[in-house]
Amino acid sequence: MTVHAAEITVSAQGLSRQFGAHTAVDGVSLELKRGEILGFLGPNGAGKTTTMQMLTGNLAPSSGAVSICGVDLFERPTAAKARLGYLPEHPPLYRELTVREYIDLAARLHRVAKPARAAAIDDALARCGLAEVAQKLIGSLSKGYQQRVGIAQAIVHRPDVVILDEPTIGLDPNQIREIRNLIRELGANHSVILSTHILPEVESVCDRVQILHHGATVYGDTIAGLKQFHGGRMVLAGFKRPPAAGEIAAISGVARAEAASETVFRVNFANGADPTDELVRRAVEKSWGLYQLAPAQSSLEDVFVHLTQKEEQS
């Protein structure tokens, strides 16, 4: 199905950024649809924060283009930024203000019209579960509530796009659960880009994932597509009388074999090869007692590790 331009909230094409001789981001492109949550991942130093700073107009790219709801971010920055909400890794909170005073300040900075300002503040406080602490000083709140305040300032002007950089860092499990639920709710009315190192968080709240490594995109697909990442390239093989992993790896067309349990092996195929028939033949010939042979499904952790470690191991 063709996606109409009006449904695309973020379009970034060929974003690159150099710092002297160092290339921090190298030709990153992405598109985000209305109501979609994108998990933005990568190891430390992959270029995630630099990319998000370019997407929000806080850092000029060396090359590339960004449009927010069809508005060019670099030609019409004020109009484009009015459609954005941004929570950086370290929320810019004023600890000496009350929650309501701070959200009011954010609304003014985002140029929310005076007649609509009170309703916008109340809505942001309610959506972020802050109504009961609205009169408390931000400095007196727990880290979880401070993160909620940071999200409230990002959505008080009702933007089309919300970009969250590590919103659950430093939180306890209960606080993480609360922020995850809030992010899911945001996804109903906003497009959300979520950067985090907590991979189960991405699997639980995101629709799609994009992984950066050394400044470039190395993977992009739906969460459902993760399960098929190794499709046609990896199987789980179970044996009643398991051989050594090396015997399986020696089969022509097998790139690698590793034990998943005492009797089950993950068998990776070489590019363009399908050694399934030979694996079955060898299992019968050697009386390995083959009882399972099925395509392996990948978790986000499997994909992340595979893509971000293979270069260092090669």
Q: Please give the pLDDT value at position 120.
A: 97
Residue in 106, 114, 208 with CA at minimum distance from that of residue 159: 106
- Helix 143-155 and helix 173-186, axial crossing angle in degrees, nearest 10: 10
The rounded radius of gyration (Å) of the Cα atoms in the chain is 24
The answer to whether residue 312 is domain-embedded is no
Number of domains in the chain: 2
Same domain (yes/no): 220, 91: yes
* 69 and 164 together in one domain: yes
Q: Do the domain assignments include residue 313?
A: no
Question: 4: burial class by Cβ within 10 Å (0-12, 13-18, 19+)?
Answer: exposed
Domain match, 56 and 84 both: yes
Q: Would you state the pLDDT for residue 234? A: 81
Is residue 209 in a domain?
Answer: yes
Token pair, residue 192, equals 């959300």
DSSP-based three-state secondary structure for 17: strand
pLDDT of residue 310: 57
Burial group, residue 46, by CB count within 10 angstroms (0-12, 13-18, 19+): buried
Q: What is the pTM of this model?
A: 0.78
| 247 and 214 within one domain | no
- Do the Cβ atoms of 270 and 253 come closer than 8 Å? yes
Per-residue pLDDT at 1: 41
Q: What letter would DSSP give residue 3?
A: P
Answer whether 239's CB lies under 8 Å from 291's CB. yes
Q: Which of 173, 199, 226 is the last residue of a domain?
A: 226
Q: Rounded CA gap, 158 and 139, in Å?
A: 25
CB 40 within 8 A of CB 66: no
Same domain for 59 and 109, yes or no, is yes
CA–CA separation, 153 and 149 (whole Å): 6
pLDDT the model gives residue 3: 47
- Domain span at 112: 5-226
Q: Indicate if 46 and 195 belong to the same structural domain.
A: yes
Say how far apart CA 171 and CA 46 lie, in whole Å. Answer: 23
118 and 257, same domain (yes or no): no
Q: What is the pLDDT of residue 295?
A: 79
Pair 114, 260 in one domain? no
Please check whether residues 187 and 98 belong to one and the same domain. yes
Q: Residues 152-171: pLDDT tens digits?
A: 999 999 999 999 998 888 78
Is there a domain that residue 303 lies in?
no
Rounded CA-CA distance 297/236 in Å is 9
Give a yes or no: residue 311 inside a domain.
Answer: no
Query: With left for phi above 0 and alpha for psi between -120 and 50, is residue 74 left, alpha or beta?
Result: alpha
Looking at 226, 256, 281, which one is the last position of a domain? 226
Going by C-alpha positions, the residue among 52, 40, 28, 29 that lies closest to residue 196 is 40
Say which CATH number the domain at 277 has.
Answer: 3.30.70
In the predicted model, residues of the chain with pLDDT beneath 70 are 1-6, 227-232, 297-298, 310-314
Q: Which domain CATH number covers 85?
A: 3.40.50.300
In a domain, 306, yes or no: no
Does some domain include residue 180? Answer: yes
**Same structural domain, 48 and 123:** yes
Q: How far does Cα 24 stand from its chain's mean position? A: 18
| 121 part of a folded domain | yes
Instruction: Show Cβ contacts of residue 185 under 8 Å, excluding neighbours closer than 6 positions.
Output: 127
Q: Are residues 119 and 174 both part of a single domain? A: yes
Distance CA 40, CA 200 (A): 13
Q: Are 115 and 247 part of one and the same domain? A: no
Over residues 89-108, the pLDDT tens digits come to 888 899 999 999 999 999 99
Quote the crossing angle between the two packed helices 99-109 and 143-155, to the nearest 10°.
30
The CA-CA-CA angle for residues 91, 94, 97, to 5°, reads: 135
Which of 201, 226, 251 corresponds to the end of one domain?
226
Three-class DSSP category at 188: coil
b/e per residue, 249-262, with b = 16+ CB within 10 A?
eebebbeebeeeee
